[in-house]
Amino acid sequence: MWKGSVHSIYIAAEATGAPQAVSEARAVMGKGLEGDRYCDGKGTFSAEPGAGRQITLIESESLEAIGRESSIVLAPGSSRRNVVTRGVPLNHLVGRNFRVGQAVLTGIRLCEPCKHLEGLTQPGVIAALHHRGGLRADILQEGIIRVGDSVEEA
């Protein structure tokens, strides 16, 4: 059994706007993190149907690994994921419910990197984050998520 934590939290008000670090955010069921582009329907992919667009997570260990393995240095906020975790096996949470602070999420699918992310960051990001670009999740139970909160299976 594992137990991880929230390393950092980011929200971006506009589709291509720079993500801003926040110490806490309210996870709103069926929408996303309050103040984030996807919660407000302003995300680049907001108009596309389907689950898994409410909140995204990425492992801090993945960001550190790509820095060691390549010339790519991707700051946590630059990954454009909402929640950066430590000690959480995100790929294993597809199809599972888990608690992040007060909120309960369900893992929908991997958040593979795309051309949009690479265009906003730097060449090589798609290859570097392949199968470790994070997790797309939906919010089952609302609540506050804070930096330092625990992340564990529900």
Indicate which CATH number applies to the domain containing 64.
2.40.33.20
| 137 close to 106: Cβ distance less than 8 angstroms | yes
**Domains of the chain: total:** 1
Q: What is the pTM of this model?
A: 0.91
Residue 16 has pLDDT above 90, yes or no: no
| Phi, psi torsion values for 33, nearest 5 degrees | -85, 130
Q: Which two tokens stand for residue 36?
A: 């984030």
Domain that holds residue 70: 4-153
Q: What is the average pLDDT score of the chain?
A: 91
Contact 30, 54 (CB under 8 A): yes
Confidence at residue 63, expressed as pLDDT on a 0 to 100 scale: 92
Q: CB neighbours (10 Å) of residue 12?
A: 20
Structure tokens at 95: 């199809």
φ/ψ of residue 73, rounded to 5: -115, 115
Q: What is residue 153's predicted lDDT score, i.e. its pLDDT?
A: 94
- Which strands sit side by side in the sheet containing 143-146, from one edge to the other? 32-33, 24-28, 143-146
pLDDT tens digit sequence for 104-115: 999 999 998 878
pLDDT at 138: 97
